[in-house]
Structure 1
Amino acid sequence: MTVRSKALMWTGIGLCAAGAVGLVVGGVLDVQAADPWASVAGSVAGLIGLALTIYALMGQTAAGAVTASGERSIAAGGSIGSAATGNGTTAAAPPSMPPSTPPPGGTVTASGDRSVAAGGDIGSVSTGDA
């Protein structure tokens, strides 16, 4: 679990605990006064929960991004068998690799010229010119 996910989780737990304590205190002091507060607290908690859920889902989409921004760069969310980015070169046949899966929510970025990045294994890469 990422630090961001843990922070969102603990924020939600803290809001639930604070709401529960507030309702218990309101119920002990004055039941009639606690009723409107319970309605307001429930509405606010629901809206905050919805906002946190949307924020967390948007963050997961961005966190699992695969980008290749350099000239002749290659990025793959999974494994790369063979890749060649140079002029007149070919990548050797990749060794047999067991299938691998990228870590969930992992970011794969190849940002330099002729860079190669993979969320899984890389078999064979040639980035220079022949």
Structure 2
Amino acid sequence: MSSKAVLWTGIGLCTAGAVGLVVGGLLDVDAADPWASVAGGAAGLVGLALTLYVLVMPSSSAPAASMSSVTAGGERSVAAGGSIGSAATGNGTAAATPPAMPGPPPAPGGTVTASGERSVSAGGDIGSVSTGDA
């Protein structure tokens, strides 16, 4: 059972319970009181069971852990599976202070390759790169 199905089951049970209590309250208030107690207890147990089920079941909506491939093959090349704040590959150069990196880190997985001489590649954002000589 998917988490979406569990969600809609919970919404359906809450709606049915609310409608039942309103109808019972309009028809006979004295008869609605014991039904409300039973319905409240049952809803609490069903809610607890659904919560435990969702917590214990493996998440099908989460991405599966995948192997990532990060390769730097060229002379002085740089490759990173995530973001690179600052990189310098030239002679006499210094890495500059990178700008603020926006957003969350990228999800793991995929292929990142820097194959040429002094090439820079990242699976995320690149803040500052200097590949030439000073």
How would you bin the TM-score normalised by the shorter chain?
0.5 to 0.7
- Of 73, 76, 79, which residue of structure 2 is paired with 1:96? 79
Shift of 1:5: 1.5
What is the SS of the residue equivalent to 2:57?
helix
Shift of 1:61: 5.6
The normalised TM-score by structure 1 is 0.53
Shift of 1:96: 1.2
Q: Deviations over 1:59-117 (max 9, x none)?
A: 246876978xxxxxxx65xx4546xxxxxxxx969961351544xxxxxxxxxxxxxxx
- Number of residue pairs matched? 89
What is the SS of the residue equivalent to 1:56?
helix
- Of 16, 19, 22, which residue of structure 2 is paired with 1:21? 19
Q: Deviations over 1:25-49 (max 9, x none)?
A: 1101100110010010001001101
Aligned residue runs from structure 1 range 69-84, under 5 A: 76=67, 79-81=68-70
Shift of 1:6: 1.2
Any stretches of 5+ residues in structure 2 without a counterpart?
Answer: 83-104, 114-134
Alpha-carbon contact 2:69-2:112 (below 8 Å) kept:
yes
Q: CA 1:7–1:95 in 2, change beyond 3 Å: closer, same or farther?
A: farther
Computing the radius of gyration over CA atoms, which structure comes out larger, 1 or 2?
Answer: 2
